[in-house]
Copies of this chain bind each other. A is one copy, B any other.
């Protein structure tokens, strides 16, 4: 079995995990039920993962978590715009 495909697919699914939530907030122009703490907690987490990736010199961990962080910044911005 091509295990690296499993790893890459897992990384893509979780890295872009908040995109559907961003699209929903953008379409509904509402974020009342959304938890900003979840966004902040994930942001802190992926930032530390990226830092850890730099320590491990692992470009995939760095890249995936940097992209996640940018997506989370968009989610946080939309939250404050529509909340």
Q: Report A's interface with B, CB cutoff 8 A.
A: 3, 6-7, 9-14, 16-21, 23-25, 28, 30-35, 37-38, 41-42, 44-46, 48-49, 51-52, 55
Contact = CB atoms under 8 A, between A and B. Distances in A.
A59 B2 CA distance: 20
Contact of A17 (B3, B34, B42): B42
A55 to B, nearest CB: 5
Q: Which of A24, A25, A35, A55 has the most CB of B within 10 A?
A: A35
A11 B28 CA distance: 32
Contact of A48 (B9, B24, B35, B52): B9
A33 B30 contact: yes
